[in-house]
Structure 1
Amino acid sequence: MSVRHFDIVVIGSGPGGEGAAMKAAKSGKRVCVVEQRPLVGGACTHTATIPSKALRHAIQRLVDVQMDHPELRVELGQKWKFKDMMRSASTVVSRQVQLRTTFYERNRVELVVGRARFLDAHTLEVDEPRGASEQLSAKAFVLATGSRPYHPPDLDFQHPRVFDSDTIFNLRETPMTMIIYGAGVIGCEYASMFRQLGVKVDLVNTRERLLSFLDDEISDALSYHLREQGVLIRHQEQMERVETRDDGVVLHLKSGKRLRADVFLWANGRTGNTQDIGLEALGIQLDSRGNIQVNDAYQTVVPHIYAVGDVVGIPSLASASYDQGRFAATHIVEGRLEHKLVKDIPSGIYTSPEISSLGRTEQELTRQGVPYEVGHAFFKSLARAQITGRTVGMLKLLFHRDTREILGIHCFGDNASEIIHIGQAIMSQDGPGNSIDYFINTTFNYPTMAEAYRVAALNGLNRLFEH
């Protein structure tokens, strides 16, 4: 069998793989991308970020129309089924695939569809869908194989009423009741979405509070608003077993509780797509969830084999994955390390309302003994929020009492994932450029949501002067 030679072979065409391939190709390298799916984009485009956010938007549009026209609420609820809203999401997926495919074509990156496995440290064998196989060799490899929902062995995912965050898109009809096991980002997002559709949701959390990595005030706000919407949150519970029936499921908890619902959604963790790639024979070890350990340059223990994106674990964000791919390719091509550029990565959580955070939380600053102050802007007081009717939420700024350096930005409310980037631009400045005073001395359009920064900054500085 002949072997085709490349400078760099990337396995996976999600954000991490795309970032690596585009950077390498634009640097003049001969690049090949191996993708298991027949279409590019990875899980981000096909089963995770894009379809879930498009679904959320479709649900939000339906809810908005029902709020504006309450006389149509029953009629709309009967007409619009879950599958209809998924059709809208599928349109977005198709557009994304078409766009991303042109990136590879324009940059002369070769795409090979099939499943890759290392034969040795410099050679891959790719099994193609129709049974053929070919071998590819390269000076360097980037593993961007992503992740998938973790499946506990004793849960029957073949049952038509048991779903994970990939298969939930196959749901045909909107259920009356749902149990979501796992209250991480994915669990909270789906709890919010399905509750907006009128589904009675039990959200089972294995921990003490929702999304404990968030600032406590933001986590508390999320809990309050999910409960206000009608989500029943059960903290510190552990699954004993799931009983599947023809007409529903029963979740047996170790606390002795039994919950019944029409469908069960497992949302408790993900695992890296590293099985059967031949990594163990190369000495590349995996953790219990199939994730690959890498250094600051995203190198594995085999220096010319890199790994990026969800397959390396935290932060498991599409935005960070793309950057990691670019940084890995930069290190391959130029020998230069750009890891420091991703020190502060904003989180975006697409509940309703949204959450976005950047930098340190109050808990972290308190533990570290940093003298900080807090500035709040509550959306209910902003003219733009009053005009749009999106008055739930707040912007919270944490800054150093002495230097006035911005230490953390936390936002809960409509378009939080957009609003955060205004503060991110200032927080990324070195020295005096990173100061709460920027928001005091800058003129914001009125009325806008951006004005929240000026309101929060004034609120925080007033607290300084009060002391």
Structure 2
Amino acid sequence: MEFDYDLFVIGGGSGGVRAARLTALDGHKVALAEESRMGGTCVIRGCVPKKLMVFASEYSEQIQLAQQYGWSASAGEFDWTRFKTNLHTELDRLENAYQTNAQKAGVEIFKQRAKIADPHTVELADGTRKTAKHILVAVGGRPVVPDMPGADLGLVSDDLFHLNALPKKMLIVGAGYIGCEFAGVFNGLSTEVSMFVRKAQILRGFDDEARGHIADCMQARGITIHTGCAPIAIERRDGGVWVKGSNGHEEVFDALLWATGRRPNTDGIGLEEVGVKLNRRGAIEVDDYFQTAVPSIYAIGDVISRVELTPVAIREGVAFHKTVFQGEKTKMDYDFIPSATFTQPEMGTVGLTEEQAEAQEPTLVYATAFRPMQTAFAGGEERVLFKMLVSKETNKVLGAHIVGPGAAEMIQFVAVALKMGATKADFDRTCAVHPAMAEEMVTLKEPVRVLA
């Protein structure tokens, strides 16, 4: 059978675009459909604009620090309108780059929604049908909003880059990395921030000591965290959003942000109708090579809910391309994937948490917390945390966690060492860079505790 395309990609995010470009560059006929904007969640409404907001929110503190170092400086007023204009100019540039690079590689782009009509056919929103030997689903995920009265009065993370003005008082419901990152951002931009956290601590799934350290720092910076609390009533009241929590606390806020998780964006695109299997969360089930229950249909990225990180989606796209179009069966390696949460202070992490290590094998825990030189000089009390988990039997480093300025930059290179199988002895025999915070990674001498 002759097809219109060798590959049709549904979704113009980082993973889908990478797979499409590589396949087109190999000389195959490739098309891609994207109903929103090229670049997907990360570029348009996630990592990139969020990180730019993080940068913006940190300058006031840096100016205060500069004053302590002798500079005559003042922050003045933050101009949200100016920032938002510059932000969207940059996002437009990045979107154009994504589209241009894909088209230069030979990818034909359809700017409309697509759904799967049969194992080899994609139907576009205008009714046009296109056939393909292989279909790749890379449609990502979307924010989840609880099903309760008044929920529509809240915002989701996508909305934050389009606010007309900064809220004076904000409630964030949820305390995953998205909620905690935006808590820091708006706190840094002088918004009064409160959080409702259903569990006993923020950042579920991360190392307990590290997330506790971050929670302490966030509260010291003025963020109010209500743990063991969920909203039970929401109304429009007194020109704002009135929210009552399960702990009895009630208050009127200028803005309510739902940061209650994300789910795969699999609704209404014909997956189950053609035989693709979804799990209970709505994620597409795939094998080690990203093939679904329908042999011609594959899926990568957040839509398969393995590790929901942009660099992972990109590598999954590469593995798909090698497997399907280069005849080199390639699995994704999910071990020792580093990640960062751009909380304030930020955290970099790779490998096992202390809790995971303890469940796996006897472990030596090395950790230190201290005031870094730059802020200690100016009287700052906030501490950084360096932590390493080491196998008692093999001396291999099982995990590392850093909380403090530059944590994301540092953890990238720690991850290289762990990926190579580094032992604690390898770190010990590496000379320190002084004076630098990062030297603590090679000067941790005695374990603070031993986990049997």
Q: CA deviation at 1:283?
A: 1.9
Q: State the alpha-carbon separation in 1 of the partners of residues 149 and 163 from structure 2.
A: 18
User: Does residue 139 of the first structure (1) align with residue 136 of the second (2)?
Assistant: no
**Residues 397 and 321 (structure 1), Cα distance of their counterparts in 2 relative to 1, 3 Å cut:** same
1:421 corresponding residue in structure 2: 412
Any idea what the Cα deviations from partners look like across 1:66-88, whole Å, max 9, x if unmatched? 44359865x71xx3233333234
Find the counterpart in structure 2 of residue 226 from structure 1.
Answer: 218
Specify the SS of the correspondent of 2:287. coil
Matches within 5 A, 1:50-89: 50-69=48-67, 76=76, 79-89=77-87
Matched to 1:187, the amino acid is G
Taking the aligned partners of 1:72 and 1:288, their CA distance within structure 2 comes to 54
User: What's the secondary structure of 2:438's corresponding residue?
Assistant: coil
Match for residue 202 of structure 1 among 174, 194, 197: 194
CA distance in 2, matches of 1:64, 1:450: 20
Does the CA-based 8 Å contact 2:337-2:415 persist in structure 1? no
> Quick check: 1:55–1:88 contact (8 Å CA) kept in 2?
no
Cα distance, 1:249 vs. partner? 0.9
Offset from partner CA, 1:257-295 (integer Å, 9 cap, x none): 323212111110112222221112112243454322222
Quote the offset at 1:350 in angstroms: 0.6
**Residue 357 of structure 1, CA deviation:** 1.1
Tell me by how many angstroms 1:184 deviates: 1.0
- Residue 143 of structure 2 aligns with which residue? 149
Give the alignment's TM-score, normalised by structure 2: 0.90
Q: 1:96 to 1:157 in 2, by over 3 A?
A: farther
2:439 match = 451
Partner Cα separation in structure 2 for residue 427 and residue 26 of structure 1: 33
Q: Does 1:393 align with 2:388?
A: no
Q: 1:297 aligns with which of 282, 289, 306?
A: 289
Q: Secondary structure at the match of 1:342?
A: coil
**Within 5 Å, which residues of 2 pair with 1:326-405?**
326-368=318-360, 370-378=361-369, 380=371, 392-405=383-396
Partner SS for 2:122: strand
1:407 aligns to 2:406 (yes or no): no
State the aligned residue count. 445
Q: Which runs of 4+ in 1 moved over 4 A?
A: 69-73, 155-159, 383-391
Check whether the contact 1:41–1:97 (CA below 8 A) recurs between aligned residues: yes
**Structure 1 counterpart of 2:259:** 267
- Of residues 90, 103, 112, the one that matches 2:88 is 90
Paired AA for residue 103 in structure 2: E
Matched residues in 1 for 2:110 and 2:167: separation?
A: 40
How far apart in 2 are the matches of 1:304 and 1:449?
50
Going from structure 1 to structure 2, the CA distance change for 1:63 and 1:98 (only over 3 Å counts) comes to farther
C-alpha offsets along residues 381-439 of structure 1, whole Å, 9 cap, x if unaligned? Answer: 6x677689997312211112342111101111111111012211111114xxx212222
Equivalent residue, structure 1, for 2:177: 185
RMSD: 2.6
Q: TM-score, normalised by structure 1?
A: 0.87
Matched, 1:211 2:199: no
Matching residue's letter, 1:22? R
Deviation at 1:55, TM superposition (A): 0.9
> Contact (CA 8 Å) 1:214, 1:361: kept in 2 or not?
yes
The letter for the 1-side match of 2:116 is F
- Offset of residue 349 of structure 1: 0.5
CA gap of 1:115–1:251, structure 2 versus 1, over 3 A, is same
Corresponding residue of 1:16: 15
